[in-house]
Amino acid sequence: MERFDMMADELGARIARRVANVALAIQGSTLPRDLQDLVQLRVSQINGCGFCVDFHTKDAAAAGESAVRLHLVAAWREATVFTDAERAALALAEEGTRVADAHPGVSDETWARVREHFDDEQVAALVSLVAMINASNRLNVIVRKPGGSYQPGMFDALTR
């Protein structure tokens, strides 16, 4: 059961609008949108954020992502459906997310693979995306926002 509705609180709603605007800036970058969805889904899976897994799965599906890729993102290392660039981004997302698990952060090997596939703007977007989705996951996990109720586009008004 959800402990607290951030959107029902004036300050919570202002913060949500700011987070939504950061997401918009990242979405407007040259980092491919389908890759953004995969990264957000994988980070949300790691963090156990049911609401965000629901959100990013449904958004990705609505944008045309295949069910096979969505189902396999949790096991991307053992799947053949991801490109080398997607694998590099997913590795960075996992290593950047697991820093609290005594992980040493993003390895030099992963960083080198990311730099092979992405230009400076895309790297800025990718790093910011990982940080932003981790923050969003934590907000939702703390208040126990459950998954299952998200509908694609339901937060579009936040960015107006």
- Tell me the Ramachandran region of residue 148: left when phi exceeds 0, alpha when psi lies from -120 to 50, beta otherwise: left
In the prediction, which pLDDT does 128 show?
97
Give the other-Cβ count within 10 Å of 94's Cβ: 20
Q: Where are the beta strands (DSSP E) in 25-113?
A: none
Report the range out of 41-45, 150-154, 156-160 with the highest average pLDDT.
Answer: 41-45
Q: Can you give the pLDDT at residue 160?
A: 61
pLDDT tens readout for residues 9-41:
999 989 988 988 999 999 999 999 999 999 999
Query: What does the alpha-carbon distance between residue 60 and residue 83 come to, in Å, rounded to a whole number?
Result: 17
Can you tell me the distance from the alpha carbon of 22 to that of 128, in angstroms, rounded to the nearest whole number? 9
* pLDDT classification of 159: cutoffs 50, 70, 90: low
pLDDT in tens, 64-106: 999 999 999 999 999 999 999 999 999 999 999 998 887 788 9
CB atoms inside a 10 Å sphere around CB 132? 17
Q: How big is the CA angle at 99 (ends 93 and 100), to the nearest 5 degrees? A: 130
Residues 45, 144: contact at Cβ < 8 Å? no
Q: What's the average model confidence in pLDDT over 47-76?
A: 97
- Cα within 13 Å of Cα(76), Cβ side: 25
What tens digit of pLDDT does each residue of 102-154 get?
Answer: 778 899 999 999 999 999 999 999 999 999 999 999 999 999 999 988 888 87
Query: Which of 16, 42, 18, 14 shows the shortest CA–CA distance to 126?
Result: 42
